[in-house]
Structure 1
Amino acid sequence: MGVEAEDFSVKVIRTETVAPNQPWHDHWLPFTNLDLLVPPFDVGSVFCYKKSHESTDVTTMVDALKASLSQALTLFYPLAGEIVRNCAGEPEIHCNNKGVDFIVAAAEVKLHELNFHNPDVSFEGKMVPKRSHGVLAIQVTTLKCGGMVIACMFDHRVTDGYSANMFVSSWANMTRSQPPSFLPSFRRSVLNARHPTIYAPSTANMFLSLSNLPSLQTDKKCESNDLDQDFNISRMYYMEGDQLKRLQLLASENGCQSSKLESFTSFLWRITAKFMEDSGHVDHICNIAVAVDGRRRLSEGEGVEKENIMDAHFGNVLSIPFGRIQSKDLKDMPLSSVANKVHKFLKSAANKEHFLDLIDWVEDQRPKPLMSRPFAGTEKAVSIMVSSGQQFSIMDKMDFGWGKLVFGSCYVPMTRRDCYVMTMASPVKDDDWVVYMHLPRKHLNYVETHASHLFKPLTTAYLKL
């Protein structure tokens, strides 16, 4: 499958700061109301490439990446800034052109030797940079086989997955002397609240003000759970298309077909409840949340121009509807019944009015910091965030000029204590999925033991590396 962590070393050759080649005037860019819903998390992206068939040497390739990065940062200039607090205490971006850390390293390992099933072994502290300051850090690591790994670490408050994809694909295009794939928009007014604000009670129930948490957490009934959240690890799996179709069939009933994402989320939710019950956490709530992108929803009925503006919007345009059920009630529920509940809470957020309500609700809470209710730690619960990466279609977009991307994935630092799962398209089989999971070790071991027919360890053999 791969070598162990101690079997290869990574040497940092140099660390530089890359700034926009045409600096913008120093200014402050406020967060939108939807940005303000995102906690100060880091999230990474990893892109793997085989040895180039061209005769280009490594130094030339790295120099090309550095030069095009400077050009890309001219368009995506907030990534070269820093997050500061304004006079109201809210975070915003100081667009000061300080640049991003650009690390060049060499690893004593070949691409086919990397352990993709346990990415913490291959990437944590080795090929994925730590973001020490600023908004973005990038590391380019050359491999013994002539391959390369490009890894980015973003401050999630500035960019969601869609926006990160905008940046990296544009950077790749510019490295090939092609036009950027996107011209980003930072027009904050497109996400302004309505006056007067108006929102449904269900919207107000999705998030909590952090200022309310101390009193809640002092209640012994709301003590945090003992699931060893400090020891979350990451693992990657592939799911075969035939198994996904069977799962979808089990999750559908009465002629109403559940989507693959709804079916997967339902299965994950229920097996989490079984894990809770079997591990003795019988009095816990199981929360499952699914990230919903609002770009197309917010432009519904407003014409092509608004669609184009929202497609180009750089930042966070997400809602995270969720379901919550006691583990004892969930563990034996038919999968179709679970899927109905997932469909119901997703449907509540997959519309324009929901996002307008959410923007308005945040406006009435400012400047209080906010957090998604399931992840606020106010009850004995396990809470998992599910995100879908299928829509990004990165395999054909991340070509820097020396070959197509052979594998790409998100990466969550080990220091993050939240539970996160992302589904992605397989790079080798159209109907398969690759699934990234960041969960407690015991939880993952339980999934592997009880659902090995679905979650198969991601190997270099499967990836044809």
Structure 2
Amino acid sequence: MAPIVLRNTYTIVPAEPTWTGPYPLAERDQVGTITHVPTVYFYDKPSESFQGNVVETLKNSLSRALFYFYPMAGRLRWLPRGRLELNCNAEGVTFIEAESEAELSDFNDFCPTPEYEKLIPQVNYKNPIETIPLFLAQVTKFKCGGLSLSVKVSHAVVDGQSALHFMREWGRIACGQPLETVPFLDRRVLWADEPLPPFESPPNFDHEEFERPPFLIGKTDNVEERKKKTVVAMLKLSKSQVEKLRSRANASKYADPARGFTRYETVSGHVWRCACKARGHSPEQPASVGISVDIRNRMQPPLPRGYFGNATFDVVAASTSGELISNELGFAAGKISKAIKNVTHEYVMVGIQHLKIQEDLSKFQDIHALGSTEGPFYGNPNLGLVSWLTLPMYGLDFGWGKEVYVGPGTHDLDGDSLLLRDQNEDGSLILATCLQVPHMEAFKKYFYEDI
């Protein structure tokens, strides 16, 4: 792969003065993944109708977008007890201009590889958090005239839905269009400052996401597992394969006849079972899968349109490898479905209240696990499987045409997986998964043979 040369690095600030001051975060913003999440867009050579300069177009429109989404131009800072606060100080975001002798075709299947890493802005978490931009972008021009646009977005500030809201509006501004949805910036709707009102029937507080995940039997930590080399695969399921899995799951005694299992529940159950097989667990081995649930429409009332922040809630489905493998697919799908159904308004508020009373939130934050042998949730015998199925990922146009591919950046945590729609084929899905090297080939085998 041809080297990538960094030409310029810019700091982009809001185009006009914005509100400045401390911006309290909701509890959900401060736990889980508070590092940056990478996404990469690839574009063909800009169409002839585009007369502008790619870099200047991106920089100018980004500056204007930050006026509306000004929290993105701020910085995090630590508070006592492992808490975080957002300082809206308009210090700006990082924009990098790069070029390469590589061709777009060199990235063929767009599977995240070490080469990808060079397309993505790097963040050094050893630096004080107050100095780290919340949003970084890198445009890389290829020899063929094509280009990539990669972004890294702080998950402490936004979830996937809000990050893509920002990207869509950035694109609209670049094309000279008005905002489609003004961001709703007030996060107090997800605070739990006051004691919760009494519930008619208190929700079952089964918040396994706050507990330590299971380790391999005989182990007291996951030190050895986290040291093992991993590999990433992008595995496609055709529409017919997805429907075949759903039909099998919905024909089981575990399915709700009135509703049936969703694509996500079905495919996640399939992935969970295949991972247990590929990892060679003993039947009594506990195994969990972490699930991220969008709560925007689960709250009472629903969150305002354009809510800009973290509006997902993590839940856990738990079982043993023996149960998962010996039972039919519907058993695994049912475990996942039940965990998702638990996420009601009351369940979320009790979970937020639980975080509120914690003496220290550090143990719930992934940034403290970087380079260490503790946490996060992923790693044998567990999985994290995030759905991008409903995210408005595709069709991002800055004036030179829509992307030819968009997908996740690199990820190297064992069990870290994403499920996304295939943008080229209606109904097909793509599983982006990371497993230990010795387990990947077996996983691929079961993934397709067990359909």
Q: Matched residue of 1:391: which SS?
A: coil
Counterpart position of 2:425: 429
Residue 123 of structure 1 and its aligned partner are, at CA, apart by: 0.9
The TM-score with structure 1 as length reference comes to 0.84
Aligned counterpart, 2:387 = 388
Match of 1:275 among 275, 278, 281: 278
Unpaired segments of 5 or more residues in structure 1?
1-6, 456-465
Q: Select the residue among 14, 24, 32 that pairs with 1:38.
A: 32
1:80-99 equivalences in 2 (<5 Å): 80-99=73-92
SS state at 2:326 partner: coil
1:206 aligned residue (195, 206, 209): 209
Please give the alpha-carbon distance, in whole angstroms, between the structure 2 residues aligned to 1:372 and 1:29. 19
Q: 401, 422, 426: which is aligned to 2:399?
A: 401
Query: Deviation at 1:377?
Result: 6.6
Aligned in 2, Cα 1:69/1:454: closer, same or farther, shift over 3 Å? farther
Matched, 1:27 2:30: no
Q: Secondary structure at the match of 2:46?
A: coil
User: What is the CA-CA distance between 1:316 and the residue it aligns to?
Assistant: 0.9
Q: Is the CA contact 1:35–1:158 (under 8 Å) kept in the aligned structure 2?
A: yes
Residue by residue over 1:321-375, the C-alpha shift from the partner in whole angstroms, topping out at 9 and shown as x without a partner, is 21122223322221122222222122112x22222222222222254335299x9
Deviations 1:37-62 (A, max 9, x none): 223332111111111222546x7111
Name the counterpart of 2:127. none
Q: Distance in 2 between matches of 1:379 and 1:157?
A: 19
- Further displaced range: 335-344 or 237-246: 335-344
Q: Is 2:78 the partner of 1:78?
A: no
Distance between the aligned counterparts of 2:249 and 2:89, measured in 1? 50
TM-score of the pair, normalised by structure 2? 0.86
- Residue of structure 1 equivalent to 2:265: 262
Shift of 1:196: 2.2
Distance 1:166 1:230, change over 3 A: farther
Distance 1:139 1:247 in 2: 39
Amino acid at match of 1:38: G
Residue number in structure 1 paired with 2:116: 123
Match of 1:143 in 2: 142
CA apart distance, 1:203 = 4.2
Question: 1:17 aligns to what SS in structure 2?
Answer: strand
1:316 aligns with 310
Pairwise CA distance, 1:117: 5.2
Per-residue deviation, 1:168: 0.6
SS at match of 2:364: strand
CA offset at residue 228 of structure 1? 4.3
* CA RMSD, 1 decimal: 2.9
Counterpart check, 1:182 vs 2:181:
yes
Asked if 1:60 is matched to 2:58, the reply is no
1:419 and 2:415 correspond: yes
Query: Residues 131 and 388 of structure 1: is their aligned pair in 2 closer, same or farther, counting only changes over 3 Å?
Result: same
1:254-289 deviation per Cα after TM superposition (whole angstroms, max 9, x unaligned): 573321111101111111111222xx6666421112
What residue identity is the alignment partner of 2:262? S
Equivalent pair of 1:117/1:237 in contact (CA under 8 Å): no
Segments of structure 2 that go 5 or more residues without pairing to the other structure are 125-131, 367-373
Q: Pairwise mapping of residues 316-355 of structure 1 onto structure 2 (< 5 A)?
A: 316-349=310-343, 351-355=344-348
| Residues 1:438 and 2:428 aligned together | no
Judging by fraction of residues, say which structure has more helix: 1
Question: Residues of 1 paired with 2:223 and 2:241: CA distance?
Answer: 33
| Deviations 1:124-180, CA, capped at 9 Å, x for gaps | 1x1111124221111001112211111101121111111110111110111001112
> Which letter maps to 2:425?
K
Decide whether the 8 Å contact of 2:13 with 2:92 is kept in 1. Answer: yes
Q: Decide whether the 8 Å contact of 1:203 with 1:358 is kept in 2.
A: no
Residues 218-297 of structure 1 correspond to what in structure 2 (within 5 A)? 222-224=220-222, 226-228=224-226, 231-253=229-251, 254=253, 256=257, 257-277=260-280, 284-297=285-298
1:360 counterpart residue number: 353
Could you list the per-position Cα deviations for residues 54-92 of structure 1 after superposition, in whole angstroms to 9, with x for gaps in the alignment? 2546x7111010000011111111211111112454111
| Counterparts in 2 of 1:281 and 1:92: CA distance versus 1, 3 Å | farther
Change over 3 Å in CA distance of 1:421–1:108 after alignment to 2 = same
Q: Equivalent residue for 2:128? A: none
Match of 2:445 among 446, 449, 465: 449
Paired residues of 1:228 and 1:440 also in contact (CA < 8 A): no
Contact 1:20–1:99 (CA<8 Å) still a contact in 2?
yes
Check 1:440–1:68 CA distance in 2 against 1; reply closer, same or farther (3 A cut): same
In 1: Cα distance, 2:161 partner to 2:121 partner: 21
- Residue 453 of structure 1 deviates from its aligned partner by 5.8
Is residue 382–residue 415 contact of structure 2 (8 Å, CA) maintained in 1? yes
What is the CA–CA distance in structure 2 between the aligned matches of 1:380 and 1:390, rounded to whole Å? 23
- Residue identity (%): 24
- Distance in 2 of aligned mates of 1:97 and 1:248: 48
Counting matched residue pairs gives 427
- Displacement of 1:100 in angstroms is 1.2
Distance 2:109 2:314 in 1: 28
